[in-house]
Structure formats: C-alpha cells, structure tokens
C-alpha cells in the first residue's frame, strides 16, 4: 500500500504545478492518520451493522450491505477531509483528494470483508 501511495504521489508531483503543496501536505505522517482513521471505523462496523439493521425500516433502504458500505466510506472520507483541514488549515486540492481517495480505496476489500462477516 505504501509503495502504491508513494508512486502515485510521485506521479502527481511531477504533473502538478502546485507540487510543493502536495509534497508538504501528504506526508507519511498524514498517511498514517488516514490509516488509523480507517482502522478505527472498520473496528466499529459490527456495532454499526446492529444499528443499521434496526433503522432499516425507518430509513427505508432496501439493501443493507450497500447502505452500510456507502455509510462507512462516507464516514471515512468525511473524517479524513476534516482531519486534513484541521492539520493544514485549508481544503485539500484536487490532486490531494485523488491521493486520499486511492489510499481509502486500497482498504475497500477489508471494509467489504468486515461488513460481510
């Protein structure tokens, strides 16, 4: 995962007119923050599954797995973007959002497996 992240970061730095900002903001430290955030949310999936099952009728969703999966990804993206803004006092650029998205995407199999258990 880290190798994929570093390769993508390198490509974006070479192709970006704003490369100094990208290099400064998406540090290994922030990558670790993203991963810790993902793991914290993944660990909460069993409890979330219980709660979403109770809300299914009230919220009128048909496919519990899809709804839960979308909710989890939304939580991860939202909390990651909030952490970015708090750490750097600015919004992430498009390039930074793409890198963040790829890091999160690398965890899709783990998230899917955890929901399916």
How many whole angstroms separate alpha carbon 83 and alpha carbon 88? 8
- Answer yes or no: are the C-beta atoms of 34 and 80 closer than 8 Å: yes
- Answer yes or no: are the C-beta atoms of 20 and 89 closer than 8 Å: no
How many whole angstroms separate alpha carbon 106 and alpha carbon 78? 17
pTM of the model: 0.74
Dmax of the chain from CA atoms?
A: 50
Cα→Cα distances 25→11, 67, 77, 114, Å: 15, 32, 17, 30
H helix runs in the chain, sequence order: 2-15, 19-25, 28-43, 45-59, 64-88, 94-105, 108-116
* pLDDT class of 63 with cuts at 50, 70, 90: confident
Residue 116 has pLDDT above 60, yes or no: yes
What is the tens place of the pLDDT at every residue in 4-60?
544 544 444 444 444 444 444 578 889 999 999 999 999 999 998 888 777 777 888
Q: Where are the domains of the chain?
A: 2-116
């Amino acid at each position: 995962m880290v190798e994929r992240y570093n390769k993508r970061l390198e490509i974006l730095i070479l192709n970006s007119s704003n490369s100094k900002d990208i290099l400064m903001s998406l540090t290994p430290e922030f990558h670790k923050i993203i991963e810790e955030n993902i793991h914290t949310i993944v660990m909460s999936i069993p409890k979330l599954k219980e709660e979403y099952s109770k809300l299914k009728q009230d919220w009128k969703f048909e496919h519990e797995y899809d709804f839960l999966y979308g909710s989890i990804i939304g939580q991860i993206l939202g909390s990651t973007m909030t952490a970015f803004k708090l750490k750097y006092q600015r919004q992430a650029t498009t390039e930074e959002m793409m890198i963040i998205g790829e890091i999160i995407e690398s965890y899709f199999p783990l998230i899917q497996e955890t929901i399916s258990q």
